[in-house]
Amino acid sequence: MLDGAVGYQLWSFWQDHRSFAIDGFRDESELADLVFSAKETGALMIGGGVSKHHTIWWNQFRGGLDYAVYITTAPEWDGSLSGARVREGISWGKVKESARQVTIEGDASALLPLIVAAALPRRKKR
């Protein structure tokens, strides 16, 4: 919850605002409840970091994601979560072997509008 730059910013703010609090257990409980109550789960992972980690982490306890799309510019060889491909998620049980899945290597700011446009219903020409 508090790793990286976001964690540092929150900690810095907390230095002068000690009444400020985040209920990390509530966040985890709400995410776990979503995952465990779902018949199927899927995730669109843009980059990596905390949101990717928590999503795939909780899904491993239900047998893995049923659908997974990873979009990343990070290299696989550096060992970062951002660079981890779907096959790494499958090896840990975070994504089902039978899942419909893809890793897309590219810039999300260019790719995401194309993906959304392709997913929208098409209008019939008159």
Q: What is the set of active-site residues?
A: 94
In angstroms, rounded to a whole number, what is the distance separating the alpha carbons of residues 97 and 90? Answer: 6
90, 97 contact by CB (below 8 A):
yes
Fill in the DSSP letter of residue 19.
T
40, 87 contact by CB (below 8 A):
no
| 3 state SS of 83 | coil
Q: How far is CA 90 from CA 36, 37, 41, 115, in A?
A: 19, 21, 14, 23
Q: Position 24: which residue type?
A: G
How many CB atoms within 10 Å of residue 101?
Answer: 22
